[in-house]
Amino acid sequence: MEWSFLLVQALSGLASASSLFVIASGLTIVFGVTRIVNFAHGSFYMLGAYIAVTIVPWLLEFDRSPTLFFAGVLASALAVGALGVVMEVLLLRRIYRVPELFQLLATFGVVLIVQDLVLLVWGPVDIPGPRAPGLRHGVYILDQRFPAYELFLIFVGPAVLALLWLLMHRTRFGVLIRAATQDREMVGALGVNQAMLFTGTLFLGAALAGLGGALQIPRVSASAQMDLSIITEAFVVTVIGGMGSVPGAFVAALLIGLLQAFGVLVFPKITLVLVFLLMAAVLVVKPWGLFGKPEAAAGRAVLPEGILDPRPLDLAGKVLAGVALLALLALPLVDAYAVKVGTEVLVLALAAFSLNFLVGNGGIVSFGHAAYFGLGAYGAGLLVTKTGLPMEPALVAAPIVGGAFAALFGFFVVRLSGIYLAMLTLAFAQIAYAVVFQWVEVTGGDNGLVSVWPSRWAASREVYHYLTAALTVAAIIFLRRVIHAPFGATLRAARDSAQRADAIGVDVRTHRWLGFTLAGAAAGLAGGLYAFSKGSIDPTLLGIPLSVDFLSMILLGGIQSVLGPVAGAAAFHAVKDFFMPLTDHWRLFLGLSIIAMVLIFPRGLAGAWASLRRRPA
């Protein structure tokens, strides 16, 4: 390998690091002040690109000058900043005090809404942007051609870092942001209107995301998938750098940019795994990132109110559960479609129940639970399609695969708490997704695997429905037993106060790790059952949207109730199944529903049921 080649590789790593920093800096500033991890930051990035591919060509019609190009880029950033203000005023302002799980879900609702709005406004086709006038040529560095625009991008990151430093240290607004990052209540007690400060922060953060997106248009086309791919990288950067730290984001972006540029030479297919290894290594040594502060993120984490006091079902509950079970068993009497939906509900109910085992009972807010569901599905599917084994051993393998990966990832996850934990589960899920997506020879990539069929005896829809019912109900009853058992109570104790649990001799980490593994195994079983019910599997089974679906189910069902998630899964799936064929804009609908749920219905269906029954007759 020649030096000149390595140099060019390093330069292109620096260029992507620079772009990544511009985006991640906005995310980390917004988190620092508002303590909200803004999923919609990726949407702001995407909007920046879309707005830029719209207005920059229009401006270049007047004069193909660099000035107008960059004026267009800046205008796009400012327009996105204004959208950030809209989001702060309409949504964030209402959710500063709600538990972080709900905040994440609500901002993910915004992601869904923006995705549909972007399709409505700009259509489904990717839009290429114009190249930057004056920077279209290549520069020769040691005989290697390097695009001038990339060279320019290398300088944007440090320039933004310098400007942010000046803003943070030389202006009152910046000093207030830094003070609020540390103690926003005290800033309020000194007479600073936090609402104005937060609105200003959102403007800044969104504008930085928009700038990052707008600067990308000469390199990549604006597309409707930009949001989720960038948000994962931005999350990884902010987590490694320490959430809330701008210099941390800069260092982390450099590390990741260079790691990817050189990792591609050594392990061409698994650069994402390298990024994961870096993140895992950093978090094991410094659980709050390179420049993060423990008290800032973890000290004020608000957990959602979880399962408090699991009791045996009373008579009404028993009747309700019995009726629901009988209804599921009687579905084959209705029609084939009802059986299909019923099977799906059972599978999702187990997945949701296993997630609430973590969230409601353990206080472990996993944002990537679909990973274990999907890995279980792939474990079973690969066994059947690649080795020719029948369904039965594959259904044994599914929970083992789900549990094994949960044990591996969980080993790191349980070392963290609060928002860092949620980010890490999300990052692991995205890595699993990326590996499944990219490893085409084994997993079939985007197309997935087909002909994952049950054994002959279970081939009919009805028989498979009963098989699914038997296994999911058994698994749910088993997990419910665990919640009621001392192990479940120990997890609740660790959830309510890890320190106190630790002080009375509970090995918190090991208990959480076992709980995480158990939940992963249950999700894996659900995934395996799902694979055979469909006959095919694809990477969406590990995707963020499915993880969010699971979270929506437990939120809808009520995370403080033991059996609520089962009802939530049924209601969520029934509604989705009913509405999706009726509208082209189901994401818009789903996003608005999630936000509405967070704002007006935070205790879920079971909460509503409980308060209905408490009402004096």
**Binding positions for other proteins, rule: CB under 8 A:** 169, 172, 175-176, 178-179, 181-183, 185-194
Which CB atom, from 274 or from 301, has the smaller least distance to other proteins?
301
Furthest-apart CA atoms within the chain: distance in Å? 85
CA–chain centroid gap for 491, Å, is 24
Nearest-approach distance from CB 295 to other proteins, in angstroms: 10
Give least dist CB 128 to other proteins, A.
43
Which burial class, exposed, middle or buried, applies to 126 when counting CB atoms under 10 A from its CB (0-12, 13-18, 19+)?
Answer: middle
CB of 167: closest distance to other proteins in angstroms?
13
Per-residue exposure over 68-78, b if at least 16 CB sit within 10 Å of its own CB, e if not = bbbebbebbbb
Torsion of CA 301, 364, 476, 563, to 10 degrees: 0
In angstroms, rounded to a whole number, what is the distance separating the alpha carbons of residues 458 and 569?
24
Report whether 525 contacts 354 (CB < 8 A). Answer: no
Shorter beta-carbon distance to other proteins: residue 188 or 445: 188
Helix orientation angle between 418-438 and 271-285, rounded to the nearest 10 degrees: 160
**What does each C-alpha distance from 99 to 96, 310, 365 come to in angstroms?**
8, 21, 11
- CB 182 → other proteins: shortest distance, Å? 5
| Closer to other proteins by Cβ: residue 167 or 321 | 167
| CB-based contact 41:30 (threshold 8 Å) | yes
- The three-state secondary structure class of 222 is strand
CB of 205: closest distance to other proteins in angstroms?
19
Q: Which amino acid is at 342?
A: G
Among residues 172 and 311, whose Cβ is nearest to other proteins? 172
In whole angstroms, give the CA distance from residue 610 to residue 121.
43
Give dist(CA 105, CA 592) in Å, integer. 11
Report which secondary-structure segment, H or E, holds 421: helix 418-438
Q: Which is nearer to other proteins, 22 or 246 (CB)?
A: 246
State the Cα–Cα distance between residues 256 and 238, nearest whole angstrom. Answer: 11
- Closest separation in Å from C-beta 28 to other proteins: 14
How near is the Cβ of 143 to other proteins at its closest, in Å? Answer: 47
In angstroms, give the least distance from the CB of 238 to other proteins.
17
Taking the least distance from each CB to other proteins, the nearer of 93 and 461 is 93
Nearest to other proteins of 189, 326 (CB atom) = 189
Shortest separation between residue 504's beta carbon and other proteins, angstroms:
23
Q: Least Å distance between CB 169 and other proteins?
A: 8
Nearest to 66 by CA among 129, 130, 133: 133
The residue type found at 564 is G
Nearer to other proteins, 165 or 267 (CB): 165
In whole angstroms, give the CA distance from residue 612 to residue 617. Answer: 10
Q: Which is nearer to other proteins, 194 or 468 (CB)?
A: 194
Phi-psi region of 571 (alpha: psi -120 to 50; beta: other; left: phi over 0): alpha
Token representation of residue 194:
């936090």
